[in-house]
Structure 1
């Protein structure tokens, strides 16, 4: 989700969700794995190139694991894939360096100023006077107001992916003219750079439109940017973009961008046959399949993501806190990492937080502090004390109910299958029967958000480095991303107190302390590991993964118009000739 965290379920300034355990089948954010022959992994490795090094023209085709039903990334049922698609035909209001330094995109914003006035943070957004939506409507302060109203949490008819930050806003008003928005917070707020990334057309101004207008409908007339939607086939799983004749900024380098919905195995085969230009290669098997290919490059980078395990506490048999804790103590995360990183010569520190990553300042292993360890003996004791008695076949039961958990397995990735079987065996050792349920990758978002599962593995991917700002997305009750059914009003209030602290430093310190307490009182989700991002692309394809929540550039968000082929590259000549 997105974090700005998401699993393939995405957000801005939020978390995004994605399939976990996949070998990068969509060429985007689904890759688990390490390096092909070295433990060296760059923080960002995406072939950055200035525009003067690129040719004008050509096409690029990218696989994607799912073209989600909900195509509004600000909605609770949006995903990382939703956000990925959205970025190609909607405003990229904010750009970000791989390290997480944000700046306004000059194509849309002339300036962003932030100041504290009478103890309140005030942010002024000055919109580029040339900026307009595809139907000719000027881009104005109204879109900022609508974004606030939809995501503030005040109107319960809206179903936003997150209210973090927006709930702290006191007002959004017109500034000097309609091209200026003045956003005033209730108090000081340190994470303003994580807000208002995905502005929407002013027509999206009611809960009905916000929730439903983008269901299986990209609404190309409501878009804006260097590309526009050329064709969309929901049944065939393809979405094609072409240059937008109403665009006012730097010309897009490519003549055509295509997304094809493909299962993991299909995506690697399509890459080998030249049908797609990039694919995830984050497993031993997928790396081996591209090892002897000519004219391709494999990129490896740190991935701001958490592969996680979650338990559905709304099920009666998992409503007991001690049962959930026992199940998590029964999981051998080191063994699962060995499965995911087999043959990749990659290692990492244990993942221990959903607030920060191990490479970020202020990180603390909150789950270890809460008492998480692999301890089957203790897990068995907890289950016994909770009244779950081991049967002749080793599976526990209570009052005639077997301790059985359905684990969906989406797609056909062999590493995901192996990992699921490993978890199945680990759970059996403590008397929990795991039934693996194969499902289509295209069903991921709907099944997850509909809680059509007992236990689940997925990925939270962060679009920016402001992790503590989104703590409520992960742990608060009622959050569209906390579908474990755990939490309490008391914990919500404690998280709220942290998020009212005036500085980032204070929020990080207090947030990390609070996270271990939240874990002890919920045991609803657990990080399995992070893993890097590994992808292989045709030589010469540059400025890869410009979208948030996606792949090779860490926290980077770069202009989609700068994705293209280097001059004189094989890919440039091939795709150029196809389009000419």
Structure 2
């Protein structure tokens, strides 16, 4: 599910979210990523009213964030009109949202992790249905992976639950795991309305239909235009908590350049500026802040194992060995005065405890070796420098999503890098709105994309990237043997021990040569001055009703 795991992102200029920390003044010095940055303010410092308008890369037709076709953008919209049962600090510390949960108690009972959720008796879905243990039951039942009629994005954690039952009354849910589970705080942070729990409704009912009546929270949907890609939220009259400070929250589907133009013209209030050109454009503006933090997001190159040429593991190894990641990182961070060591994990980030470079010893840049590997597989250099085999050219396609200049530069650089070893990389241009189509239909040989983590429990979601039957595995990698190792790792109840085991398994997973980490990068957003409780803040998830404008 999208509330807690690595989330698909379009291209490499990653999603802007509402996150927390200290405000950052506009300057032209080197980018730093210590802590979080959002101009935190108490409610009494905010005026009632106003609107917040931001760009979004894609308004996905699939509004069900639990569904495999959802994306980071699905989740960003979902959070504005559905129950958010948990908050996270910037460094990933969990706390229940008291508007929904009055108490969460975790204990070990007879060798099993048992979590008891006491639900606020004021909590109701917008259609009048109580938010009670039934929502927990249906969230578990649809996400546990037993019924393959549900096209679920993630079964991680839910597949290890033995039972979800009624507690002392309907407003208490008791979740019992089969053994000790390491990451219980990553589950049930969002819940599904019981009316959405039939397979047909789960899979198809949310397609171009947000079902605001099945939501709950400070805001609800005022309008949704699937053609224009515009979503407007307004205060929810059925909300029992503190009212939202904003009158309206607006999302507009815009390409990167259009979003920057709209920000400069005052049409939107926030713009992502974690690229050279974008940052340079906003540095000339008055009345804005640039807010920066370390980013729990990963850019990677996925290789489609279903593509005939890439079905050969040695060819995939050659492709990865030929790629100069340092050059790609320099292009990505040009103009930001920012550097980082090359990432070596798709599970944890360098700023997290337990992180290890699991790519080391598996892939390193060596174009001469890449050429030898291609020779070994029968791909011989042709007169034009492109390799051929049995009359076919060694030609691969890479869709370039959106109109961001940095992403286009990266695509061209990758094209040149692979060309040096005789690989013809054909870059095709696709609009941002095609992102889900490209991923779901696997319309690529190579694809630069991103993952975003919405909580710090990366090892809990290892299966999403690497399991052979995962709906969230764009490369199509995985083997029964690796699946077994992942399952055994997931059973380890001690978090530190599970991370150590996960690092060993991830190194083995990288030997499939299916996913190549490229870089992480900073989160950088430009915002109009006075916007509070919004910006860049690592794992932060907080009360959306407290986002607003200073008095």
Q: CA deviation at 1:28?
A: 4.6
Retained in 2: the 8 A contact 1:36–1:287? no
The separation in 2 between residues aligned to 1:342 and 1:335, in whole angstroms, is 10
Q: Which of 356, 366, 375 in structure 1 is aligned with 2:366?
A: 375
Indicate the residue corresponding to 1:282 in structure 2. Answer: 274
Are residue 453 (structure 1) and residue 440 (structure 2) matched?
no
- Report if the CA contact (8 A) 2:398-2:447 is conserved: yes
Q: Measure, in 2, the Cα distance between the counterparts of 1:126 and 1:188.
A: 21
**Aligned match of 1:164:** 156
Match of 1:195 among 170, 187, 197: 187
Distance in 1 of aligned mates of 2:220 and 2:509:
44
Q: Give the conservation status (yes or no) of the 8 Å contact 1:122–1:183.
A: yes
Q: Which residue of 1 aligns with 2:43?
A: 51
Q: Does 1:556 align with 2:547?
A: no
Counterpart position of 1:538 = 528
Distance 1:440 1:284 in 2: 21
Q: 1:233 offset after TM fit, Å? A: 0.3
Aligned to 1:513: 504
Say yes or no: does 1:263 pair with 2:247: no
Alpha-carbon distance in 1 for matches of 2:303, 2:71: 20
1:119 aligns with 2:111: yes
Structure 2 residue corresponding to 1:527, chosen from 514, 517, 520:
517
Deviations 1:517-562 (A, max 9, x none): 1211x110010000001110000101115xxxxxx11000001101
TM-score, structure 2 normalization: 0.97
Contact 2:28–2:283 (CA under 8 A) maintained in structure 1: no
1:398-547 paired onto structure 2 within 5 Å:
398-520=389-511, 522-544=512-534
RMSD over equivalenced CA pairs, Å = 1.3
Tell me by how many angstroms 1:35 deviates.
8.6
| C-alpha distance in structure 2 between counterparts of 1:303 and 1:252, whole Å | 27
Matched, 1:565 2:549: yes
Question: Hey, what does 1:13 align to over in structure 2?
Answer: 4
User: 1:20, CA displacement in angstroms?
Assistant: 2.4
For residues 307 and 483 of structure 1, the distance between their equivalents in structure 2, rounded to whole angstroms, comes to 14
- Distance of 2:83 and 2:28 partners within structure 1: 36
Q: C-alpha separation between the residues in 1 aligned to 2:472 and 2:378?
A: 31
Q: Deviations over 1:277-328 (max 9, x none)?
A: 0000111111111112111111111001110001001111101111101101
- 1:300 aligns with one of 256, 276, 292: 292
Which consecutive aligned stretches of 4+ in structure 1 deviate over 6 angstroms post-superposition?
none
After the TM superposition, which residues 308-347 of structure 1 pair with which residues of structure 2 at under 5 Å, given as runs? 308-347=300-339
CA distance in 1, matches of 2:67, 2:32: 37
Cα displacement string for residues 382-417 of structure 1 (whole angstroms, at most 9, x for unaligned residues): 111011111111111222221111100111111111
1:251 aligns with 2:235: no
Deviation for aligned residue 1:495: 0.7
Query: 291, 296, 305: which is aligned to 2:283?
Result: 291
> Runs of 5+ in structure 2 lacking a partner?
19-25
Q: 5+ unaligned residues in a row in structure 1: which ranges?
A: 5-10, 546-551, 568-580
Give TM-score scaled by structure 1 length: 0.92
* Contact 1:35-1:300 at 8 Å conserved across structures: no
Tell me if structure 1 keeps the 8 A contact 2:11–2:402.
Answer: no
Give the corresponding residue for 2:377.
Answer: 386
Contact kept? 1:242, 1:257, Cα under 8 Å? yes
1:53-101 per-position Cα deviation (integer Å, ceiling 9, x unaligned):
1111111111111101111111111000000000000011111000100
Q: 1:509 to 1:532 in 2, by over 3 A?
A: same
The secondary structure found in structure 1 opposite 2:461 is helix
The structural deviation recorded for 1:40 is 2.1
Question: Which secondary structure does the structure 2 equivalent of 1:460 belong to?
Answer: strand
Count residues in correspondence.
Answer: 544
Shift of 1:264: 0.4
Q: Within 1, Cα distance between the matches of 2:45 and 2:446?
A: 48
Aligned counterpart, 2:23: none
